[in-house]
A and B are shown apart, each in its own frame.
Chain A
Amino acid sequence: GAVVSQHPSWVICKSGTSVKIECRSLDFQATTMFWYRQFPKQSLMLMATSNEGSKATYEQGVEKDKFLINHASLTLSTLTVTSAHPEDSSFYICSVQAAVPSSYNEQFFGPGTRLTVL
């Protein structure tokens, strides 16, 4: 499977500040990455699909102006939570699809970033 890293692994910030989370595909070039969010005792929810060189595609209910996604290279996607508030506190996880295209499209996840907004 793919090797994916995320940075930072955890962050605590004050309400109103912006936080940038990086997702890197370490062993292959990913034209598409995905961002998910997981609240305690809930399932992972897809937030957006990050496309290299073009605008991200956001899921219904996810504010694109609040969650800024930049996918400027084939190995890096960033998610910026702007003007963070306590309700944004969550576990943010990125993923990449399997390097070899297949009908199954397995995804491999980064270690996640735990965001706490005070």
Chain B
Amino acid sequence: RKEVEQDPGPFNVPEGATVAFNCTYSNSASQSFFWYRQDCRKEPKLLMSVYSSGNEDGRFTAQLNRASQYISLLIRDSKLSDSATYLCVVNSGGGADGLTFGKGTHLIIQP
């Protein structure tokens, strides 16, 4: 079983729509969770950290379900500029540990 699993997509949605991504992780000891965004041939950029109580940043809402080992990202009122690959990322230990990345979900916002 892969450590971090995501639906690769692509998700094709019209501008203004709401889109949701899901992710599951296998290591129950994981402590930190993130969504990163990666544009084509660029480095990943931190979109938001995911907190146990769920958190929101503008049009973006992230949720974490530790019991189910499940993370979600909701994008409301999608913009053309939201087109990118969204990476579900997990840090499985405390301190200075590397990150484990999902393969990413490709999102295409259509005008």
Chain A positions within 8 Å of B, measured between CB atoms, are: 1, 31-32, 34, 36, 41-46, 49, 51, 59, 91, 93, 95, 97, 103-112, 114
Contact = CB atoms under 8 A, between A and B. Distances in A.
Contacts of A44: 44, 87, 99, 101
Contact of A111 (B42, B95, B96, B102): B42
Interface size class of B (residues with CB under 8 A): 20 to 34
A34 B87 contact: no
A109 B98 contact: no
Given A109-B43, A111-B42, A112-B43, A104 B49 contact: yes
Ranked nearest first, the 10 interchain pairs of A and B with the lowest CB-CB distance are: A46-B98, A32-B96, A109-B43, A43-B101, A43-B103, A44-B101, A104-B32, A112-B43, A34-B98, A104-B49
A1 B100 contact: no
B98 A59 contact: yes
Contact of A105 (B43, B97, B103, B104): B97
A4 B45 CA distance: 12
B58 interface: no
A112 B96 contact: no
Contacts of A41: 103
Interface string B71-102: 00000000000000001000100111111111
B5 to A, nearest CB: 10
Interface in B12-64: 31-32, 34, 41-46, 49
Contact of B96 (A43, A97, A108, A114): A97
A1 B46 contact: yes
Contacts of A36: 98
Contacts of B4: 43
- Scoring B31, B46, B87, B94 by chain A CB atoms within 10 A of each residue's CB, the highest score goes to B46
B44 A109 contact: yes
17 contacts: A1-B46, A34-B98, A36-B98, A43-B103, A46-B98, A95-B99, A104-B34, A104-B91, A105-B32, A105-B91, A105-B96, A106-B34, A109-B45, A110-B43, A111-B43, A112-B42, A112-B43
